[in-house]
């Protein structure tokens, strides 16, 4: 399976206290007025990338203890996102973080069952807090067992 990806990076900031392999998806249909990543709104700002190549890159990176998805809007490529998350859980067994402009309540269980940390909601400049998350309307959900906490 293939999807559109802009870049991957080893990050010390996307998941606080963790080293993450962060994957930036291209394309975003949410289009927040104050978005800092407008150049990623079009799907073709990324390159068609195979799930196999992403999985191989993650496996080769022995430093990481998390995989993080961001963009753009990862959930706009839902089928690809779920496919990769399933493979990470089955083949690599690392926890997964998701940054999304959508609200937690609209995310399918098929996806949230595979994720451990979700930072959700659109960025709003008038609610900017300059921390994590970036604006105060955004919510952070963490999973303990089967239970989500916000
Ligand atoms: S969801 Fe993220 S990428 Fe999409 S417009 Fe909003 S801030 Fe930008």
Nearest-CA residue for ligand 1 atom 8 is 35
The rounded distance, in Å, linking the Cα atoms of 104 and 15 is 18
pTM as predicted: 0.95
Cβ contact 4:49 at 8 Å: yes
Domain ranges (residues) in the chain: 2-149
For 122-149, write each residue's pLDDT tens digit. 988 899 987 888 889 999 999 988 899 9
Q: Which CATH number fits domain 2-149: 2.60.40.1220, 3.20.20.70, 1.25.40.10, 3.30.1300.10?
A: 3.20.20.70
Ligand 1-lining residues (CB < 6 angstroms)? 28, 30-32, 35, 37, 71-73, 101, 122-123
């Amino acid at each position: 399976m293939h999807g559109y990806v802009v870049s991957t990076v080893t990050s010390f900031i996307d998941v606080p206290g963790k080293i993450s392999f962060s994957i930036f998806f291209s394309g975003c249909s949410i289009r927040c007025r104050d978005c800092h990543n407008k150049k990623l709104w079009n799907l073709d700002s990324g390159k068609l990338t195979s799930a196999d190549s992403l999985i191989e890159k993650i496996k080769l990176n022995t430093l990481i203890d998390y995989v993080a998805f961001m963009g753009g809007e990862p959930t706009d490529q839902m089928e690809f996102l779920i496919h990769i998350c399933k493979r990470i859980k089955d083949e690599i067994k690392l926890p997964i973080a998701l940054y999304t402009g959508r609200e937690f309540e609209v995310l399918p269980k098929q996806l949230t069952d595979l994720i451990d940390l979700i930072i959700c909601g659109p960025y709003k400049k008038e609610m900017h807090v300059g921390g994590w998350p970036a604006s105060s309307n955004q919510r952070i959900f963490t999973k303990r067992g089967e239970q989500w906490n916000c």
